[in-house]
Amino acid sequence: MARHKSSPPAIRRRGVGMLRWAVRVASSIVLWTALLHLSSLLGLPRPPLLAARPSCLGGGGGSNSSASSAVTVAAADEVGRLAPPAVPRRTSDTLTLCQNLRSSHVGTWNLEAICDMVTVARYMNLTMVVPELDKQSFWADPSDFGDIFDVNHFINSLQDEVKIIRELPQKFSRKVPFSMQPISWSSEKYYLRQILPLVRKHKVVRFSRTDSRLANNGLPLKLQKLRCRVNYNALQFAPSIEALGKKMISALRKTGSFIVLHLRYEMDMLAFSGCTHGCSDEETAELTRMRYAYPWWKEKEIDSEKKRLEGLCPLTPGETTLVLKALGFPRDTRIYIASGEIYGGEKRLTELKTEFPNIIRKEMLLSADELRPFQKHSSQMAALDYLVSIASDVFIPSNDGNMAKVVEGHRRFMGFHKTIQLDRKKLVELIDLLEDQELSWDEFSTAVKELHEGRMSEPTRRKAIAGQPKEEDYFYANPHECLGAARKRREKLKHTEI
């Protein structure tokens, strides 16, 4: 019986098919090898072949979802996004992972904490619940996240990186989340090795304190850039706040340039810091009582004058007035005051208003009807100040607190707009010498100007101090990993001016 012979076209088809199969196998091996090397470089465990992305909205393991996840890893790398982390999971696991956020800063909203927790959730491949805000602070602001930020934009702008949901699903309604405080200034490896096992065990974990929980330095570049993406893109204020902010900025711009003075001389700051320089005995006693009334303000006995000489107190309105004059700001400078209620009332601003009569407050730019919905919501009022601050020609904070640092970083990101970083430790020495008549005014003014040369938000790298994260430069004040475009814009502007 004659043996059947394949026709030449059939042989060619089989040959082409085998060649395609071989190419696919080789490509898979190359891709997998590259992924292993990437994991090693980032200090992560080797990725499993199958890893399903968890979701608070349900879903589980299985070949289909796992295969889709593997495809997503490759596609994410190709477009430059963060690849899903290499977290080993059992293929039969239907683990639901959620994360809740609560800010415990002295104020009621904390941009940096939100950015950090989104980054942590993305790194561990968790689903994040829209943040809660602290309502137990001195100001007792009842505002929710959605009263301050645009929730839809927040969720939608990050949907390619992390799943964010508005609230826990019904199946978790009776479950009490495991509550904890992550260790401050932790690296991404801490969350992978210490926190992820807790999330797996308890299913839902709530971080009750989130300020300064992620390191300034030493994180992978893509994590640092994600922090910036959240801060400068995903976190937009609610439409009502944005609209009023634009109206205020437009009104200020119509009459020329203006500076913003972030005068952090408010009751909560003075009580918390223990800084009472310039206060009466009655005021000092009132601030001390307030500090003892809040158990989470751990420092009780504070030497105010010692702290001031160390540069750890906000400048008083009077001290700030001297500094503005010494820096050469003319009398007709238009100064917008970004602050809550100044402790001691308008009398504390007498010297500032005498030397700089063009003082502007919110109440001068907006009607009573426009401001009324915000009156008892200090966080929303602060958001208005934030928008004006990042738009000003010059920003000058009297203290390097939370908002001052974030505004400085935002202004760097926008093109290194001028922020004068006051050296309070040396300034109070000079002010005391001036008041003791050991320095003339001209000597004082010259010294103040020389002191602040190079402290105007010029491009620079953060100062990193191993083992002392509180002493090193803060990421959100100078996110230099994200500032390449801003630096190019500034260099182009300089070249154009020349």
Close Cβ partners of 66 (under 8 Å, ≥ 6 residues apart): 50, 51, 52, 91
What predicted TM-score, i.e. pTM, was given to this entire model? 0.78
Total domains in the fold of the chain: 2
Domain boundary among 166, 201, 234: 234
User: 10 is written with which tokens?
Assistant: 């059939």
Confidence at residue 162, expressed as pLDDT on a 0 to 100 scale: 92
Domain boundary among 234, 251, 282: 234
d(CA 410, CA 229): 12
Does residue 76 form part of some domain? Answer: no
Confidence at residue 26, expressed as pLDDT on a 0 to 100 scale: 52
Confidence at residue 204, expressed as pLDDT on a 0 to 100 scale: 87
Does residue 442 form part of some domain? Answer: yes
User: 336 is written with which tokens?
Assistant: 């917008």
* Alpha-carbon distances, residue 236 vs 116, 372, 403, 417 (angstroms): 16, 22, 16, 20
Instruction: Report helix, strand or coil for 279.
Output: coil
Does residue 296 form part of some domain? Answer: yes
Closest CA to 99 of 86, 83, 109, 113: 113
- Domain check: are 355 and 467 in the same one? yes
- Domain check: are 207 and 147 in the same one? yes
- Domain check: are 257 and 228 in the same one? no
Instruction: Report helix, strand or coil for 174.
Output: coil
Q: In sequence order, which ranges of 255-375 are alpha helices (DSSP H)? A: 267-273, 281-293, 304-309, 317-327, 350-355, 362-365, 368-371
- Domain check: are 224 and 277 in the same one? no
For residues 364 and 388, is the Cβ–Cβ distance under 8 A? no
- Domain check: are 208 and 243 in the same one? no
- Domain check: are 188 and 306 in the same one? no
How many Cα neighbours within 13 Å face the side chain of 347? 3
Does residue 42 form part of some domain? Answer: no
- Domain check: are 314 and 400 in the same one? yes
- Domain check: are 219 and 322 in the same one? no
Q: Tell me the backbone φ, ψ of residue 101, rounded to 5 degrees.
A: -130, 140
Domain boundary among 234, 267, 289: 234
Does residue 28 form part of some domain? Answer: no
Confidence at residue 332, expressed as pLDDT on a 0 to 100 scale: 97
d(CA 450, CA 263): 23
Does residue 1 form part of some domain? Answer: no
Vertex 423 angle, CA 392 and 394, to 5°: 10
- Domain check: are 347 and 376 in the same one? yes
Burial letters 417-426, b for 16+ CB under 10 A, else e: bebbbbbbee
Confidence at residue 18, expressed as pLDDT on a 0 to 100 scale: 52
Confidence at residue 91, expressed as pLDDT on a 0 to 100 scale: 29
Ranges in the chain, pLDDT < 70: 1-109, 135-140, 485-498
Our CA dihedral for 217, 221, 224, 228, rounded to 10 degrees, sits at: 140
Q: Is 408 left (phi over 0), alpha (psi -120 to 50) or beta?
A: alpha
Confidence at residue 267, expressed as pLDDT on a 0 to 100 scale: 92
- Domain check: are 362 and 473 in the same one? yes
Confidence at residue 24, expressed as pLDDT on a 0 to 100 scale: 56
Confidence at residue 15, expressed as pLDDT on a 0 to 100 scale: 52
Does residue 417 form part of some domain? Answer: yes
d(CA 120, CA 199): 12
User: 26 is written with which tokens?
Assistant: 């080789």
- Domain check: are 244 and 213 in the same one? no
For residues 161 and 126, is the Cβ–Cβ distance under 8 A? no
Burial letters 378-412, b for 16+ CB under 10 A, else e: bbbbbbbbbbbbbbbebbbbbbbbbbbbbbbbbbb
Confidence at residue 178, expressed as pLDDT on a 0 to 100 scale: 87
User: Which residue range(s) make up the domain with 427?
Assistant: 239-495
- Domain check: are 333 and 188 in the same one? no
